[in-house]
Amino acid sequence: MLNDALWYRRFGQPAEALTLEAATLPDLSPGAVRVRMTAAPVNPSDLIPITGAYSHRIQPPLVAGYEGVGTVVSAEGAEAALIGRRVLPLRGAGTWQRYVDCDPAWMVPAPDDVDTGLAARGYINPLAAMLMLRRWPVRDRRVLVTAAGSSCANLLGQWALGAGASEVIGIYRSPQHHEWLLRLGVTPVAMSGDVEAAASRVDVAFDAVGGTLATRILAAMAPAGDFVSYGLLSGQGFARSAHGPPPQRFHLRDRLEDVSLAVWRGWFDDLWPLLGQAWLPEARYFALAEWREALALFETSGRQVKPMLAL
């Protein structure tokens, strides 16, 4: 049986470094389960490692992709009862391939009432958003999110309002995002607008961009506020302000390093109901052979759909 997979055997821009390769599936390792993937999203967290941004901790050759959903098709012993279950095969091999062999201990069952497009993206962005709001509670606070059109910021905004935030301000780049931010109850502010005025009245900021935008926000915020950096989509660092709050850092991988299985499973027990009530962009599916088209859509400014690999 052959397995098709998107590999990167060197660092570089994803469109240049990725290659679609077919190889014979090896025998299943003892204790592992084999998942036939159904769908996997295209996220910044999938693409940034390919560029070499995390070369201090990962090295190619690697299969790309960090999340997705599929069905268990092969298992032995006690795990044989899992065959036919729809699952998220997480924290193991890359998910941009037709078959993923994984450790069943970290595998997450997908509820029957969660559709494929939602289940496939039920890990990276939702878990990060939920854990940040637990670490920095927002009830009765004014909240700012940057990259407001992104999946994680989208969930941060919706869930912050649901958790009792008095206001959520979304800093956006593409004009197409203005109207749907309003529909979600988020106050939209363009990156080209008066970001400083918006930042001056918030209590907590969740920043995924870095660079000059983060520098502007930090300089305008009150020193008692919370500024949380959880990404650098600009590819640039930011300057600390002598007058603003000290920056705080959130990386999901830090929370995963020593998490127990009980806590891990509890996170998803809490996450699925939240996701069921959230609004997320429609998924647009691409065959694995059309991966370049999926990446091109991902890079399209102002897109309001989520590119998804149909595996």
Same domain? 211 vs 130: yes
- Residue 10 · residue 295 · CB < 8 Å: no
Question: In total, how many domains does the chain have?
Answer: 2
Asked if residue 30 belongs to a domain, the reply is yes
Do 49 and 147 lie in one domain? The reply is: no
Residue 272 is assigned to a structural domain of this protein: no
Q: Does residue 260 lie within any of the structural domains?
A: no
Flag whether 288 is in a domain: yes
Same domain, 136 and 245: yes
Asked if residue 262 is part of any domain, the answer here is: no
What is the C-alpha to C-alpha distance for residues 151 and 95, in angstroms, rounded to an integer?
19
What count of other Cβ atoms lies within 10 Å of the Cβ of residue 152? 24
**116 and 152: one domain?**
no
Q: Pick the closest to residue 87 from 63, 111, 113 (CA basis).
A: 111
pLDDT at 53: 87
Same domain (yes/no): 113, 36? yes
Kindly report the CATH number assigned to the domain that includes residue 73.
3.90.180.10
Is residue 191 located within the same domain as residue 208?
A: yes
Q: Is 232 in the same domain as 299?
A: no
Indicate whether 61 and 130 sit together in one domain.
no
- Are residues 34 and 117 both part of a single domain? yes
In a domain, 261, yes or no: no
Same domain, 109 and 130: no
69 three-class SS: strand
Residue 259 lies in a domain: no
Query: What distance, in Å, lies between the first and last C-alpha atoms of the chain?
Result: 15
Q: Which domain holds residue 172?
A: 126-253
On whether residue 77 sits in a domain, the answer given is: yes
* 135/226 same-domain check: yes
pLDDT score for 235: 87
d(CA 134, CA 127): 11
Q: Are residues 232 and 135 in the same domain?
A: yes
Q: CB of 164 within 8 A of CB of 266?
A: no
CATH of the domain at 178: 3.40.50.720
Low-confidence stretches of the chain (pLDDT < 70) are none
